[in-house]
Amino acid sequence: MRAVILDRFGGPEVLQLGEVPAPRPISTEVLVRVHAAGINPVDLKQRQGHGPLSHLPMILGWDVAGVVQECGFGVTIFSPGDEVYGMPWFPRQAGAYAEYVTAPSRHFAPKPPSLSFPEAAALPLSGLTAWQLLVDTAHLKAGDRVLIHGAAGGVGRLAVQIAASLGAHVIGVARAGHHEELRALGAAELVDYTTTRFEDVVGPVDVVLDLVGQDYTPRSLPLVNPGGTVVLVPSGVDDAVARLGADKGVRVTNFLVEPDHAGLLALSRLVGEGRLQPKVGAVVPLEDAARAHQLAESRTAGGKVVLSV
């Protein structure tokens, strides 16, 4: 099969199209013909040598949308011909930048019928991150006030929609140019961090999603009600910040997304109800993966960059 092979770490130019043996599914696995593969920030970091994988050569990518070609023994939830999407194996290698991938069947879910393959490939990693942060980690419920730093980013934009669908009061921190779109997606309050310190204008909150890092978590802690939760995504929680949270009765935790069949089904339900929509900025052919990484790094695409396989 064709695949984009990474045999050394570096800039986008290290991504080279090549030929490798196609995988075969073992028991409980499916073989998926990849139609589209989403590009995430972790892909860019991994290409540079700063991701979760250390072996070389490797095939990048975790976001997959495609069609089941073959089912291993014991698979009961899919049949050949089913359209699926998912985030298999993370943080181990999934190899999405290729014509085929294999993974446990429950690392996938049926592709929402209303989404194209590129749109479906734009959703799993970012969408599961937002879902697991809000639902499984912060236990967000209707009436809660949630502050989202980086609300206009790939995860933040989906988190705004998911939180709003849960009935929460959503406060987004993003540049003013994104406010109109975020308001339409469900944000009740918006703060332009380039002109305003969020802690000067935001009232008490129950949950903080820090998708930015830097000093945003310690600056947010005074705003969080006792019993609330702060989740720091870009980096681990250091001891000093954890102590600050404990002194205030606030849980401060780090996070890493996991493959999640139930989470994918929940995302699909929201898509079907018209309450969640991924945003694709560009679709680039598999053989132009280097250009796709350049575009993703430039942050000029206006949405997720997706490889068409």
62-112 tens-digit pLDDT: 999 999 999 999 999 999 999 999 999 999 999 999 999 999 999 999 999
Question: Do 92 and 156 reside in the same domain of the chain?
Answer: no
Kindly give, in sequence order, each residue whose CB lies less than 8 Å from that of residue 77, ignoring residues fewer than 6 positions away. 105, 106
Residue range of the domain that includes 215: 126-254
pLDDT at 238: 87
Is position 260 within any domain?
no
Question: Do 211 and 155 reside in the same domain of the chain?
Answer: yes
Percent residues over pLDDT 70 in the chain: 100
Question: Do 117 and 147 reside in the same domain of the chain?
Answer: no
Q: In this predicted model, what pLDDT tens digit does every residue of 111-158 receive, in sequence order?
A: 999 999 999 999 999 999 999 999 999 999 999 999 999 999 999 999
Question: Do 87 and 152 reside in the same domain of the chain?
Answer: no
Identify the CATH number of the domain in which residue 228 sits. Answer: 3.40.50.720
Question: Do 84 and 154 reside in the same domain of the chain?
Answer: no
3-class DSSP state of 27: coil
Least Cα distance to 278 among 91, 45, 104, 39 occurs for 39
Question: Do 144 and 197 reside in the same domain of the chain?
Answer: yes
Question: Do 80 and 180 reside in the same domain of the chain?
Answer: no
Q: In this predicted model, what pLDDT tens digit does every residue of 160-176 receive, in sequence order?
A: 999 999 999 999 999 99
pLDDT at 234: 82
Q: Which two tokens stand for residue 78?
A: 């899919």
Q: Regarding beta strands 251-254 and 224-232, do their DSSP bridges make them parallel or antiparallel, or are they unpaired?
A: parallel
pLDDT at 235 over 90: no
pLDDT at 239: 87
Q: How far, in Å, CA of 230 to CA of 209, rounded?
A: 6
pLDDT at 236 over 90: no
Other beta carbons within 10 angstroms of residue 95's beta carbon come to: 26
pTM comes to 0.96
